Amino acid sequence: MLSSLFARRPAAPDPATWTPQGTTVVQRYRNALGEREGAVVLVYAGNGARDTGYYAAACLGCTYRAASSGTRARLTEKEAADLANEHATGCRAMNRGVPAAPSTAHAANIVRDRLWGLRPHGTTHPHYVDLIDFHADRVDLQCPEAFITQVMLHLVSSEPNFLASGSYDTGPGTRFRVLPHPRRR
C-alpha cells in the first residue's frame, strides 16, 4: 500500500514539445502573459498531408482552431503560421497542458460531426471527403488517418443516406462522399 503512495507518476507531456498523434507539427508559438508562460499555438499538418502543402493552427489554451481563412479554403504553411502568430499575440489563455486523448466513441463523434458539417445544402451534388477536411480536428482527435477511415467505413454501412464510398478512378483506395440533405417535397 505504501509503495503505491510513493510511486512516481509519468511526467505530463510538455505542450512546448508535444505532437498530437496523426500530425506533424512544424511550428509553435507561445502567447505572452506578462511574466507567466501562456498557451502554445501549434502549426501542423496531418502525417500523410504534409506533402500536400495544407496546414492548420490550434491553440492548446483555448478553443481556437483554423484550417481555412476567409480568403482560402485551405491554408499554406505560411498562412497557418501567420494565423497562429496573430492568435498567440492576442490570446490570453493560460497554458492548459496537453489535451486528454478522447475515448474512441468521442473521437468517432468528432469525425461524424465534421462530416455532418460538410453535408451539402441546396444541391444534388455530394461533397467528396479528403483527410484534409479533418485538419481543424486533429489536435482534438489525436488519432491516425486509419482511424478516421475506419469511422467513415462504419458510417457508410450504418448511415448509407449520409455517407457513401466508392473506388478512385485514378488509383487504389476508397473515396468517400457526404451525400446532400434530402430535398423536401
Dump pLDDT digits (tens) for 111-166.
999 999 999 888 889 999 988 889 889 999 999 989 999 999 999 999 999 999 98
Q: Please tell me the predicted confidence (pLDDT) of residue 4.
A: 54
Cα gap 156→116, rounded to integer Å? 13
pLDDT in tens, 133-146: 898 899 999 999 89
The predicted model gives 84-105 an average pLDDT of 89
Q: Please tell me the predicted confidence (pLDDT) of residue 3.
A: 52
Where along the chain do its domains lie? 23-90, 104-178
Q: Please tell me the predicted confidence (pLDDT) of residue 46.
A: 82
How high does pLDDT run on average in the chain?
85
**114 against 6, higher pLDDT:** 114
- Provide the 10 A C-beta neighbour count for residue 109: 13
Which residues does 76 contact at the CB level (< 8 Å), separation at least 6? 53, 54, 55
What's the sign of the alpha-carbon dihedral 68, 71, 73, 77? Answer: negative
List the one residue out of 24, 75, 62, 20 whose CA is nearest residue 46.
24
Going through the chain in order, the beta strands assigned E by DSSP cover 23-33, 36-46, 56-59, 65-66, 127-129, 163-167, 174-178
The grid coordinates listed for 118 are: 460538410
**7 against 59, higher pLDDT:** 59
